[in-house]
Amino acid sequence: MILEVAILDVRPGETGRFEEAFRQASPLIARQPGYHRHELRPCAESDHRYLLLAWWDSVEAHTEGFRRSAEYERWRELLHPFYDPFPTVEHYLPPVVSGP
């Protein structure tokens, strides 16, 4: 399983509305083929930064599947207006080391 990782910087003062929009948007990603799970975590060091993690079967399930889906249009409408700057999204392969 691969991991999509995005650090999301949200316009200061709009974090409450962003979290609400993200709650609304969550079913859009959760119904995609190849999707496993996702989570949105607030940063301990910055009050308007978040981490999005999403676990997928493959990079393509995210980039070819979700990003070309009808649901992605709605996802974008709901969430992209909150980001400043627009986030970089990366994908990470299965762990080469893990513990315990």
64 is an interface residue for a copy of itself by CB under 8 A: no
Query: Which lies closer to a copy of itself via its Cβ, residue 27 or residue 85?
Result: 27
| Interatomic CA distance for residues 96 and 82, integer angstroms | 34
26 is an interface residue for a copy of itself by CB under 8 A: yes
Among 6, 9, 14, 19, binds a copy of itself (CB under 8 A): 19
Least Å distance, CB 29 to a copy of itself, is: 7
82 is an interface residue for a copy of itself by CB under 8 A: no
39 is an interface residue for a copy of itself by CB under 8 A: yes
Is the CB of residue 31 less than 8 Å from the CB of residue 67?
no
Give me the residues that bind a copy of itself (CB under 8 A), please.
2-3, 5, 19, 22-23, 26-27, 29-30, 35, 37-46, 49-51, 59, 90-100
